[in-house]
Structure 1
C-alpha cells in the first residue's frame, strides 16, 4: 500500500471513530466531551487527507497534534469510555504502533474473571483479523470500540467488586 493510501486510510479511520463518538448514547456532559474528541479526530483526518506525506513519510504535525488533543481529552474524561492510546487505531498502519490492549484487571470474582477473559479474547481476535480491518474498516472499528466500552465498564465493576470487604 502506498504512503498516500495509508494516510487516506488513517483519515478514514479517524472519521469513523469521530462518528462513533458522536453516536454514543451517553449523558449530556459526556456527549459534549465526545463531540470535542470527534472534532479533533475530524481535524486530524482533514490534515491527513490534505497534507502530502514528506520524503520520510512523516505524519503531518497538525494531524499529530489533533490526535494528541483527542487522546488527552479522552484521558481527562474517562466517561467517554475510549481506551488509552485509542488514536493508535488511526495510526497503526502508518507507524506500526501497537493497537491498544487492556492491562490485566485481576478480578477476585470468578464471574468477572470469566468476563475479562471472554472480552479480551474477542478483542485479540478482532486485532488479529487484518482481513476485516481492510475489507470492512467501519464495522471493524465499531466492533473494537464496542468491546472497549464493555471492557472499561468491566474494569469499573472489578475495581468496585475487589474493594468490597468480603474480598479482604
Structure 2
C-alpha cells in the first residue's frame, strides 16, 4: 500500500462514518443534543469538515471549499467565514441547524478535494514542514494524521449521538 492509498483509505473511512451518522435524519434530529452542554450531530459534522477543509487546503496551498464553492453562503451560519468551530461553546453549537443533504454535500466536496490532494503524495512528501509555529515544527505527515484523528473522533461522537437520539 502506498502513502497515497493509505491516506485515501483513511479519509474514505471518515466519509463513511459521517454518512452513516447523518443519512436520513431531520434537521431536528441533527440538532439533538444529549444535554445543553453537548455537541449535536450537525455541529460535529460541520466542525470536522471545516477542520479538514481548512487544514488540507492549508497544506495543499489552495482555497477552502467553504468559501471558494459557496458553502459558507449556503449554510448561512452566524459565524465568520474563517470559523471552524474551534473554541465554540454551547450557544454556538445550538446555532448549527442545517439539513443533512447540506452537511453531506459539503463533506463530500471537501472529501473529493482531500483525496485529490493526498492521492498524489509520496512517502517523501510527509517530511515536509508545514507549520513552524510549533516546537518541533509540524510536518505534512503529522498534520494529516492530526486531521484524520480529529475527524474520526468527531465522526464517532456523531454516530454515538445518533444512537442516543434514535433511542430517546
TM range (shorter): 0.3 to 0.5
TM-score (norm: length of structure 1): 0.33
Greater relative contact order: 1 or 2 (C-alpha under 8 angstroms, separation 6 or more)?
2
Q: Which has the larger radius of gyration?
A: 1
Higher helix fraction (1 or 2): 1
- Return the TM-score normalized by structure 2: 0.33
